[in-house]
Structure 1
């Protein structure tokens, strides 16, 4: 006698979740970003991009994927100098997740975990590199991936560890 068969887990539409191994470049625009450095506050408009590689999510392989960060660079310039945010470390353990939460119309929850460092080139001194203690986390509900014009929310402030000279 055969054991009772279990129904396969319900998977939201395959066409909606990016396939494993796909690389997705995204444009990024972060307007009115606040950066505090040496007691001064800067209002910056960062522009640049981010690139993800899709990997399987073992915690929920049915409705979500993990997104490995393979490139990240944003920059902003002011009269005081140039400010750059870029990938701070290799993303060997992808923690960013894209989860499909609704089939029609498609809706996804995107939790973006970004390890980064900021470089400040202000005044006549050498560039200063400011790594962060922990990755920053951005969250959004999006209707497609890669996202287009969606608003992400920063869940906390980025805290730096120490100053590194270049």
Structure 2
């Protein structure tokens, strides 16, 4: 039996329409899955900001840090160091000012610098300096200060160890070093380092922060003897 041409054409169009519909449904379903995972269509979950620009509570945000020519005293040597590294902060509610502020819990902080060899082995002859977080607290804050310009006051409170690693210096001072075990000098902040600045985005987009006062570093078991001091720490903070 021969099927009329007109009916065959109608069935073909119906099949194509059903195929297009299935394709649109599949694309829509993929969009829902990706959107719920925070991969498309806006800011990923945990990184959202409210209308004031404050980060969402629970977000964990990485921040790059670059401090060039930071004047630092180590024992009797005076050097300018270039620190590079970063930190990660977790955003918490601030009960003292819930509408306009967030507390920031530093959950990772590390920067390093190369020590210059100034040719005076008695004072300074190369090596590395590593600053690394040694206390997890939530004393840092981000506070909205001007709604018209979306200005924020950022205050970072940082407690850390400073590890001064100079194995070459040890070998020079002790000959071959036979019979002696080398250990880097590990100091800790006597009081937290406080960095402050005005920013217009969080995480910052190349904002400069300043250190409020010099930071003394001491031996953990001898807090009265200052062996190093970070005199200034002009640091550029940037989103990673």
CA-to-partner distance for each residue in 1:136-162, whole Å, 9 max, x for gaps?
111100010111211111001111231
The structure in which a higher percent of residues are helix is: 2
Unmatched runs of 5 consecutive residues or more in structure 2: 1-49, 118-125, 171-181, 222-240
User: C-alpha distance in 1, partners of 2:61/2:158?
Assistant: 16
Unmatched runs of 5 consecutive residues or more in structure 1: 1-12
Kept in 1: contact 2:52–2:150 (CA 8 A): no
Whether 2:162 is the aligned partner of 1:118: answer yes
Alignment map for 1:17-166 (pairs within 5 Å)? 17-78=54-115, 79=117, 80-91=126-137, 94-122=138-166, 123-124=169-170, 125-162=182-219
Kept in 2: contact 1:86–1:116 (CA 8 A): yes
Count of aligned positions: 150
Structure 1 residue 15: Cα displacement: 5.0
Structure showing greater radius of gyration is 2
Match of 1:4 in 2: none
Kept in 2: contact 1:67–1:98 (CA 8 A): yes
User: C-alpha distance in 2, partners of 1:90/1:103?
Assistant: 31
User: C-alpha distance in 1, partners of 2:219/2:142?
Assistant: 32
User: C-alpha distance in 2, partners of 1:103/1:110?
Assistant: 15
Which SS does the other structure have where 1:34 is aligned?
Answer: strand
CA-to-partner distance for each residue in 1:26-62, whole Å, 9 max, x for gaps?
0000000122112101210000001100001111011
Please give the root-mean-square deviation of Cα atoms over the aligned residues, in Å.
1.5
**When the two structures are superposed, what TM-score results if normalisation uses the length of structure 1?**
0.85
User: C-alpha distance in 1, partners of 2:74/2:113?
Assistant: 14
> In structure 2, do the counterparts of structure 1 residues 163 and 115 end up closer, same or farther at CA, with 3 Å as the change threshold?
closer
